[in-house]
Structure 1
Amino acid sequence: MNLRAARETDIPGIRDVANRSLAASYDDVLDAETRQRAVESWYGAEGAAAGTLAEELADGQTVVIVAEDDDEILGFAQAFLAGDTPRVGRIEWLHVRPGRRGEGLASRLLDRIESALADRGADRIEASVIEANEAGRAFYEEHGYDHDHTRQVRIAGDRVAELTLVGDDELSAEGAGSGTERRETGDGETVVIAYDESERGSEGPFHPTYLDDDREEQYGWHCGNCDSLDVSVGSMDEFVCSDCENRRRAMRWDAVYGG
């Protein structure tokens, strides 16, 4: 078993693992077409050029670790770095091929991607799981993560609660701050922009906006590329900024599939 940084030639294997893992985890929740749309938004269509992921592997902000055995991709972890103070390493996906779950691969992938994010200057590391995914939450808690906040996200048109968990190691001690700004919207609403939370966009990060300092009720999203609050959200929680067309792909749902 070998764990290493992903290469462009690994993308077909990564896509295959994501397809199989999502099917095993969400077969009774989401139809095949919805799952396929999500995978294609992240990794391209089957047989297509590598595209976006290939570019991200070279951008210095994206980290992808694969687990392979006899040249077969068995699992992968994907994360990106955003922000300056604090600099956050956000785990986006952690998939293990269904037939190889229960072998400790997820733990090994998590450990390796945490180290890679720390090496690239992360002050803290975050992961998100759907509230109903008790196994996913337990996985991160077993590895020292604590619940930080909850927000509502959309999966195939349904609103569900998503938990953000933060690693408890010393990465979070340096550079942490409130990371917020109050801003008045065009309709006179005062919102709080949470710069210390982020989602990857095509041109820059998106930050959630809230109606209160406790972050209990989300208002919408702020575009970190052009500083706009005019961000629309689609049926699979994909974002697009109306001012600069910065985009976020379909949401990743959970950051862990398989032990």
Structure 2
Amino acid sequence: MVDIIKASKDHVKRIARVCTEGYWSTYSGLLPAEYIERIVKEFYNQQRILKEVTHTDRNWGGYFVALEDEEVIGAGGGGMIGDTSGEIFVLYMDPKRRNEGIGTRLLAAITEQQKNWGATEQWVSVQKGNQKGIPFYEAKGFSFQYEKPGYANKEGEDFVSLRYHRYI
């Protein structure tokens, strides 16, 4: 049985693992390894995740985790980007556990948190070409709005994020 719960300090190491593995699985072949390594090092290190688990507010609602037999098999989180606008910032599965409805359940938990904070709409950025994330979000009612430069682009990089939106 898979439970969706708010993450605690006890989950930090396993959140780092599932997000790192999920990121590599999603972006290998789409983005250069150096870029993937840079993102993983910045966002999915245990020190940052510990801070993100213990210091939450409306801007970052903390991580939710999907647990099966105390093992983290998925993790996600978001926050408010305006009075009535929420955003999904991160949502990854253990690559071996995709297509089981776990991501849908994590998205529902994040969405419920944001609705409780007054959100009536939700945003997400998806890397252009991400054929794991794009169909998932489109199936959940998100629609493409516009392109923008990738969040972590450095000089000379031209990676593109696609902005998706839905009303909740």
Structure 1 counterpart of 2:95, from 60, 75, 98: 98
CA distance in 2, matches of 1:151, 1:4: 32
CA distance in 2, matches of 1:25, 1:165: 18
Aligned residues: 163
CA distance in 2, matches of 1:111, 1:17: 19
- The answer to whether 1:136 aligns with 2:133 is yes
Deviations 1:182-236 (A, max 9, x none): xxxxxxxxxxxxxxxxxxxxxxxxxxxxxxxxxxxxxxxxxxxxxxxxxxxxxxx
Give the drift of 1:17: 0.3
Contact 1:19–1:36 (CA under 8 A) maintained in structure 2:
no
CA distance in 1, matches of 2:81, 2:98: 30
Instruction: Write the mapping of 1:9-158 to structure 2, written as runs, cut at 5 A.
Output: 9-28=10-29, 29-31=31-33, 34-45=35-46, 48=47, 51-56=50-55, 58-63=56-61, 64-84=63-83, 87-153=84-150, 155=153, 157-158=156-157
Give the drift of 1:43: 3.8
TM-score by length of 2: 0.84
Q: Which has the higher helix share?
A: 2
Give the drift of 1:55: 4.2
* 1:203 alignment partner in structure 2: none
CA distance in 1, matches of 2:19, 2:122: 22
* CA pair 126-116 structure 1, distance change in 2 beyond 3 A: same
CA distance in 2, matches of 1:62, 1:104: 24
Identity over aligned pairs, percent:
25
CA distance in 1, matches of 2:138, 2:26: 20
Give the drift of 1:49: 7.9
CA distance in 1, matches of 2:123, 2:159: 19
3-state DSSP of counterpart to 1:62: coil
Give the drift of 1:90: 0.9
Runs of 4+ in 1 over 6 A off after TM superposition: none
* CA pair 165-71 structure 1, distance change in 2 beyond 3 A: same
For structure 2, the residue ranges without an aligned partner over 5 or more in a row are none
CA distance in 2, matches of 1:139, 1:43: 22
Give the drift of 1:61: 3.2
CA distance in 2, matches of 1:23, 1:51: 21
RMSD: 2.2
* 1:159 alignment partner in structure 2: 158
CA distance in 2, matches of 1:143, 1:106: 11
CA distance in 1, matches of 2:57, 2:129: 34
Contact 2:9–2:50 (CA under 8 A) maintained in structure 1:
no
Give the drift of 1:97: 0.3
3-state DSSP of counterpart to 1:150: strand
CA distance in 1, matches of 2:64, 2:161: 24
Give the drift of 1:51: 4.7
TM-score by length of 1: 0.57
Contact 1:43–1:52 (CA under 8 A) maintained in structure 2:
no
Task: Specify which structure has the bigger relative contact order, considering alpha-carbon pairs within 8 angstroms and separated by 6 or more residues.
Answer: 2
CA distance in 2, matches of 1:49, 1:89: 21
> Which amino acid counterpart does residue 165 of structure 2 have in structure 1?
V
Larger Rg: 1 or 2? 1
Deviations 1:85-104 (A, max 9, x none): xx321101110001111212
Give the drift of 1:155: 4.2
3-state DSSP of counterpart to 2:159: strand
